[in-house]
Chains A and B, each alone.
Chain A
Amino acid sequence: MSALILIELNGSDVSANTRAAITAALNLSDSLDALVLTNDASNASSVSALAGINTVKMIVDDALEHANVEVASRLIADVMNDYSFLVAGSSTFSKNILPRVGALLDVQPISDVCEIKSKNTFVRPLYAGNVMATVETSDETIVMTVRATAFEHSGDGGSASVETISASMPSANSEFISLQESVSERPELTTAERIVSGGRGLGSKENFALIEQLADKLDAAIGASRAAVDAGFISNDYQVGQTGKVVAPKLYLAVGISGAIQHLAGMKDSQVIVVINNDPDAPMSRMADLVWQVDLFDALNELNAYQV
């Protein structure tokens, strides 16, 4: 009953959601192997250092630099003979590939697992997280992605052996052209560890710069309420909530946001919630771990000036 972890690399580093997948997989099997598809054999080192991994299986080929999904899914499916579980962290990388692997194996994959109840029973969100379902699978081989926000991120300290698999590259019907990385220097909203979010209380686009300043200081992503987006303080891809993005960072700092239920729907699972608001009755405060009842401009100026 061993499990295979599909490794997602950011450059040569192992991604945070892959680390969550390792933690999750340890609930399923004590024997974990990792699979790396790469064009660069030196990437083995960061993977073999992962705690909890027995063997790192490498498939190295120039064609895997921007692995195309038709190729990757075929290669993964072929390796799966030896495993009962295939686990990856939820991301656009894994969501692209794993379902296709599932189809090749005649397996129904399970997306966004948030809790592992038993080896075949899992909890996953439906309806944008408004409903949590406990599901049981009858597949022999289980393929799943896990929410990075729901599991600890496992660390390093292992020394897995590395095994290179020689595989012939299946023919590809698509090709990589280019990658345009997002321009923002700030962390991406949905995976950021910290988010500073501003609401209508900010009053203007110019004032919203105070939020950006604080975000930079905390190495945080920026978020906003719909009222702030509606008022034109910031563009709509920053909206958090029912009709915006769903986030669960370690720290969510809400400035001048009242905490309408539609906003809460997007951030209620944040680990620590801080509220800066001058209204003691703002519903947001009930959700908060820390409340600073103050004029937000005073607070932001003080925070931005504070020497950490």
Chain B
Amino acid sequence: MERESIEYDVVIVGGGPSGLASACKLKQLNPNLSVCLLEKGSEIGSHILSGAVFEPKTLFDLFPEDAKDCPSLKTPVAKDDLFWLTGENKSIKVPSWLMPKSLHNKGNYIISLGELCQWISEKAMELGVDIFPGFPAQNYLKDESGRVIGISTGDMGIDKEGNQKGTFTPGMDILAKQTIFAEGARGHLGKQLIREFNLDEGKTPQHFAIGFKEIWEVENDNHSPGDVVHTMGWPLNEGTTGGGFLYHFDNKKVAVGLIVDLNYTNPSHSPFQEFQQFKRHPKIKEFLESGKRVSYGARAITKGGINSLVKMDFNGGMIVGCDAGTLNPSKIKGSHCALQSGILAAEYIHKILNEEICDFDDLFKGSSLYQELYKSRNFSAAMHKFGFYLGAAYNFIESNIFRNALPFTIKDEQKDCDSLNLNNPLYAKEYPAPDNVLSFDITSSLFLSGTNHEEDQPVHLKLTDPSIPLTRNKELFDEPAQRYCPAGVYEIIDKEGEEYFQINAQNCLHCKTCDIKDPSQNINWTPPEGGGGPNYIGM
């Protein structure tokens, strides 16, 4: 069977808010363009996980007529609370006037970003975009001059050992005048492009967090749609920053989550366990008790802000959204930024396809996205540099008193993969066993993510050097992959008396944490056979 190829004007990789916004905007600007969008999830939205409190303005910019009918915008934020959890049972409510401005959510909506993406994808199809879910872009293609000319999709029907099975189906090449990469946090093609085209030259290293989320169905009288609760502090402590959230949807649904910055230092730290503990705090428990957990998932967040935002255009294409790093870290909101960056990319590409002279940097610097990101430029660097309390104080002062107009920029030059201290039994963290009411183990959690991969296929988590997990990583850090992976993919098991590093690839949630945090940068996340991965509903 031969590889086939097809040509489009523009091909877009990734059906998140950024990619979908690019697709829609391109067709709005020029209905004659042929535009195709590939999504690795089996459906649009099935790999999307977000909080999410959503700033709707950009959606109205994109669909001035239709946005008001978008079914995702049904739960406006009604109330905003911020708690500082000072201990296992203790908390202080941060008064509204003391809350960082960026955490105020008036005018925003509590949404499922996955559902919003489904809605936008319907609009895109109406506009004539060809959308193909279930097909990851595996590689990008270049011509002799080094220009990106499209992507190729992966072969299907290859067994564990790499042999063709009876169902073997070759991938195909999709060629395009312009290719937009919108893979979200730590895109595997984005990562290569950034390296190959030096897109991060002069930028501080990108920073990431891992975000956990569960949806609960609650019976509770405390449930009040539109209420937003944010927390800082417990169970995370010095050396680990991040924060919790709890959003009340309609239909007696509550989204609860914890975001843990990946520059944590203690190798025995388990973000998954921290999240499970978090739910036992009285401030969270009161809403979940007597409820039932219905879904679970995790996803990395790109949060370096404008200091780490890579150059978004290169020869033959663009990189947009969290793939490039457009999230606003002071709000931990990236959906509206992703939409905006997608729109900007479409406007730029429309111009250059018409052979107009245009500089993307100028376009970007004139945008409200740039304004927003510039204002929050010091947020996460301050957290990283000064630690939680000082960092929080700094952020409060900067955002509420100086209104983000301070004339200097703080930078954090350490990569997340380099932040781990050496394993020290003295500081080993122990976590209580799951109570199966509020806290659970990984297996039962995974079940609720719906994750699934064809079993007989090559492992999609590639080790550059297979010996490292049991040598360097084990000796220095007690192989932290066993704890940072939210899906229990990595295990050191005893195989007839010998230690063996097992990769349960079929459990993978595509969160990309291993690709980011491995202290030896030895794990490469690559896309598995199409359609594999979580099946998030309403996340």
Contacts and interface: CB of A to CB of B under 8 A. Distances in A.
A301 interface: no
A108 to B, nearest CB: 31
A209 B447 CA distance: 30
B495 A203 contact: yes
A281 interface: yes
B495 A261 contact: no
A262 interface: yes
B455 A283 contact: no
Contact of A283 (B444, B495, B496): B444
Contact of B444 (A203, A230, A261): A261
Interface in A200-235: 203-204, 230
A169 interface: no
A260 interface: yes
Contacts of B444: 260-261, 283
B433 interface: yes
Contacts of B447: 260-262
A265 B171 CA distance: 36
Contact of B441 (A203, A230, A262, A283): A283
Contacts of B495: 203
Contacts of B443: 258, 260-262, 283
Interface string B452-467: 0001000000000000
A230 B507 CA distance: 14
Contacts of A281: 433
A234 to B, nearest CB: 15
B433 A203 contact: no
Contacts of A230: 455
A281 B495 CA distance: 21
Interface string A247-270: 000000000001011100000000
A262 B444 CA distance: 8
A8 to B, nearest CB: 36
A204 B441 contact: no
Contacts of A258: 443
Contacts of A262: 443, 447
Nearest to A203: B496
Given A230-B455, A261-B444, A204 B496 contact: yes
A243 to B, nearest CB: 9
A45 B455 CA distance: 51
A258 B446 CA distance: 15
B297 to A, nearest CB: 16
A203 B496 CA distance: 7
Given A260-B443, A261-B443, A283-B441, 14 more contacts: A203-B495, A203-B496, A204-B496, A230-B455, A258-B443, A260-B444, A260-B447, A261-B444, A261-B447, A262-B443, A262-B447, A281-B433, A283-B443, A283-B444
Interface of B: 433, 441, 443-444, 447, 455, 495-496
Closest 3 CB pairs of A and B: A261-B447, A260-B443, A261-B444
17 contacts: A203-B495, A203-B496, A204-B496, A230-B455, A258-B443, A260-B443, A260-B444, A260-B447, A261-B443, A261-B444, A261-B447, A262-B443, A262-B447, A281-B433, A283-B441, A283-B443, A283-B444
